[in-house]
């Protein structure tokens, strides 16, 4: 028997009720799609912040133990020039690697001559940083407001400062700052640097102390010809876990003791935000699924009680209990699928409208406004699609199982 056609005709027969059910499924799908798309956008912006603005790249390689003890005994976790050269050559040889660049990080006090405050400087290789800030994050190659400086011959004193730091010290482009820090051996050292610009790191916790400085300047300040970390970006970031293990193996067999961290591991705010909003999203998914369940349950209950005599007739003619249940499950499933299918153009329309009108917002744990757009992810939408379909089937099953198990004579008695 053609269950699909039969079920479809029955859906048309209870038209108004079917429309209400389909609309409920549709609204549920749109709600989850909008919230999900909105969260995906936030997550993606935070990701861009971590990878590009905070300069984490995709993967960070350091001497084993660095992330745990590097602050206590920095000199112990420093790579010398040969080691650095080896790491760079191994990583750059890997076909998955887009960029591999050395880094140093130093802490200290900075002064404009009148006032001083603490700073953290991330020392970057200017040519590499030009590439890094163009890293593709979820299809975007330009992270809003991102700046770096260019390498100049004979002069490595250019720096970019966090915008809040610039405000605090009232410093502008072209002016200079003094950085007070110490060498790897703990000897005090100082250098004057020139402001080449400022930018918002996107993270309020770093925006008031962040300074991007030239790697060669930092090497002098720190009295080293090596580096502390090597940052890499990948051609295909989705392969991050594979590349991570692969590179760790290659570096180990090259005789180096290394550890690797992903940008996610290094950006605590990203994890916190995605975890929190992930929970909210899941709770909402459950609530909406329950609403869909109850709606389909209610519709099916009405449909079934209206068609009790017909069910009795079908059973009397020779339809098995399981066939009756299947018929109603197909009816529920069709309504579920219709609701989801109807939701897709609506979601696309909402996404399109948001794109056109261009609203901006500041995501949580961030300080840069980003455009509010929906990032619709096909696998996640497919998941909701499957979930609602299952929910529709389950509620139809629960209702129809009861009626199918009823005595046939009792079903036939119903008058209408």
Partner 1 sequence: MTQEVISTTKLIDFEGVSKTYQLGNQKVQALKGIDLTINSGDFMAIAGPSGSGKSTLLNLLALIDTPTNGQITYNDIDISTLSDNQKTMYRNKEIGIVFQNYNLIPVLDALENVAFALQVQGIPNHVCLSRAEKILKEVGLGTHLHHRPANLSGGQKQRVAIARALVTNPSVVIADEPTAALDSKTGMEILDLMKELNYTKHTTFIFSTHDNRIINSVQHVVQIEDGLLINQY
Q: Which residues bind partner 1 (CB under 8 A)?
A: 1-2, 6, 9-10, 12-13, 309-310, 312-323, 407-409, 412
Least Å from the CB of residue 393 to partner 1: 21
Q: 135 is written with which tokens? A: 């890293």
Q: Based on CB atoms, which residue is closest to partner 1, 9 or 272?
A: 9
Least Å from the CB of residue 268 to partner 1: 60
d(CA 310, CA 405): 14
**DSSP letter (8 states) at residue 372:** -
Least Å from the CB of residue 237 to partner 1: 52
Q: Based on CB atoms, which residue is closest to partner 1, 253 or 415?
A: 415
Q: What are residue 193's phi and psi, to 5 degrees? A: -125, 160
Q: Based on CB atoms, which residue is closest to partner 1, 360 or 407?
A: 407
Residue in the block written with tokens 């027969």: 13
Least Å from the CB of residue 24 to partner 1: 23
Q: 242 is written with which tokens? A: 């594979």
Q: Based on CB atoms, which residue is closest to partner 1, 181 or 396?
A: 396
**CA angle (75 as vertex; 70, 77 as ends), nearest 5:** 50
Least Å from the CB of residue 296 to partner 1: 20
Q: Based on CB atoms, which residue is closest to partner 1, 56 or 328?
A: 328
Q: Based on CB atoms, which residue is closest to partner 1, 211 or 314?
A: 314
Least Å from the CB of residue 401 to partner 1: 13
Question: At a CB cut-off of 8 Å and minimum separation 6, what does 285 contact?
Answer: 32, 384, 387
Q: Based on CB atoms, which residue is closest to partner 1, 10 or 110?
A: 10
Least Å from the CB of residue 20 to partner 1: 19
CB-based burial of residue 139 (10 Å sphere; 0-12 exposed, 13-18 middle, 19+ buried)? exposed
At CB < 8 A and 24+ separation, what contacts does 391-395 make?
391/289, 391/292, 391/293, 391/296, 391/336, 392/25, 392/292, 392/296, 392/332, 392/333, 392/335, 392/336, 392/337, 393/329, 393/332, 393/333, 393/336, 394/293, 395/293, 395/294, 395/296, 395/297, 395/300, 395/332
Least Å from the CB of residue 321 to partner 1: 7
Q: 397 is written with which tokens? A: 């099953």
Q: Based on CB atoms, which residue is closest to partner 1, 296 or 327?
A: 327
Question: Pick from 146, 165, 139: which is nearest to 50 by CA?
Answer: 146
């Amino acid at each position: 028997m053609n269950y699909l056609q039969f079920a479809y005709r029955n859906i048309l027969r209870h038209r108004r009720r079917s429309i209400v059910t389909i609309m409920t499924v549709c609204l549920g799908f749109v709600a989850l799609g909008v919230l999900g798309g909105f969260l995906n956008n936030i997550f993606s912006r935070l990701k861009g912040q971590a990878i590009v603005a905070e300069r984490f790249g995709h993967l960070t390689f350091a001497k084993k133990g660095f992330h745990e003890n590097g602050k206590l005994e920095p000199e112990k976790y420093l790579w010398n020039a040969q080691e650095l050269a080896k790491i760079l050559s191994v990583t750059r040889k890997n076909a998955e690697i887009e960029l591999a660049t050395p880094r140093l990080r130093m802490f200290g006090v900075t002064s404009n001559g009148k006032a001083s405050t603490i700073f953290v400087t991330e020392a970057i290789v200017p040519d590499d940083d030009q590439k890094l800030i163009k890293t593709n994050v979820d299809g975007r190659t330009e992270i809003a407001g991102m700046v770096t400086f260019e390498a100049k011959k004979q002069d490595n004193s250019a720096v970019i400062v966090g915008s809040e730091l610039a405000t605090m010290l009232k410093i502008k482009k072209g002016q200079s700052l003094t950085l007070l820090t110490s060498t790897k051996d703990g000897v005090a050292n100082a250098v004057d640097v020139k402001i080449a610009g400022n930018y918002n790191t996107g993270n309020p916790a770093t925006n008031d102390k962040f300074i991007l400085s030239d790697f060669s300047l930092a090497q002098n300040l720190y009295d080293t010809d090596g580096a502390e970390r090597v940052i890499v970006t990948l051609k295909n970031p989705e392969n991050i876990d594979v590349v991570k293990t692969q590179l760790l193996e290659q570096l180990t067999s090259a005789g180096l003791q290394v550890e690797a961290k992903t940008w996610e591991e290094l950006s605590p705010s990203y994890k916190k935000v995605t975890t929190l909003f992930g929970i909210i999203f899941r709770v909402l998914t459950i609530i909406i699924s329950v609403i869909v369940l109850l709606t389909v349950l209610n519709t099916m209950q009405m449909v079934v009680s209206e068609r009790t005599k017909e069910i009795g007739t079908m059973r009397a003619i020779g339809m098995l209990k399981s066939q009756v249940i299947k018929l109603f499950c197909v009816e529920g499933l069709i309504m579920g699928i219709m609701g989801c299918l109807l939701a897709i153009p609506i979601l696309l329309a909402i996404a399109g409208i948001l794109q056109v009108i261009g609203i901006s917002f500041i995501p949580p744990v961030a300080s840069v406004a980003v455009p509010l757009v929906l990032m619709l992810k096909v696998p996640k939408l497919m998941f909701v699609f499957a979930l609602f379909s299952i929910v529709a089937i389950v509620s139809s099953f629960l209702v129809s199982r009861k009626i199918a198990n009823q005595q046939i004579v009792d079903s036939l008695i119903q008058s209408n």
